[in-house]
Structure 1
């Protein structure tokens, strides 16, 4: 069976949290059998189940999206995606921070 990349990312995150399949199923509010089928690729993951698992692991869609892409180095599109989630004030602060970083890169002797 083929396991969806989203499910693969969720499995890794579950293991990082030190949870068994049984524990994850209970926390996410689904039967152990259903959860096992999802992880083995025998059953499609419903959106409601996905959301429940994310909440249980305190994750966001962005966390999983970055996991799937294997993001180690952030690219411009990642920053744009994250920036959309920020308040206007936070967006302004982010732009100022990035401007300062660019200034430092172009003049390493600047204080």
Structure 2
């Protein structure tokens, strides 16, 4: 997996959301010219800029990984279907984890 592969995922998500390269450049604090060079593989973003791009596009590391594998994003119904295969104790642990994660995210925001 290269930086360019990661940028292709960002580009596809940007286009899906009907955002311009200028929109992205402003959010992550680079010039449009530099951002265009990053999307074309001629330059690279700093990790912090890449993370800012992901936040702006509202994508997670899991979304990024699934996109790199050309898989559809995981939906709530996918999680529910997978959870049905778990034992009762595992389902309980999963729900507890998800609720704790939700609570922790609310504290950060």
Same fold (TM over 0.5): yes
Are 1:23 and 2:26 matched, yes or no? no
Number of aligned residues: 81
Where does the alignment leave 5 or more consecutive residues of structure 1 unmatched?
80-87, 95-111
Q: Which runs of 4+ in 1 moved over 6 A?
A: none
Structure 1 length-normalised TM: 0.61
1:27 Cα offset (Å): 2.3
The alignment's C-alpha RMSD in Å is 2.9
Structure-2 separation of matches of 1:20 and 1:63: 21
Scaled by the length of structure 2, the TM-score of the pair is 0.62
Structure 1 residue 59: deviation in Å?
Answer: 1.0
Aligned to 2:34: 34
Which residue matches 2:94? 91
Change (3 A) 1:28 1:73: closer
- What stretches of structure 2 of length at least 5 have no aligned partner? 75-81, 83-90, 98-109
What does residue 44 of structure 2 align with?
Answer: 44
Looking at structure 2, the residues matched to 73 and 33 of structure 1 have their Cα atoms a distance apart, in angstroms, of 30
**Matches of 2:24 and 2:53, distance apart in 1:** 8
Check conservation: 1:25, 1:35, Cα contact below 8 A. yes
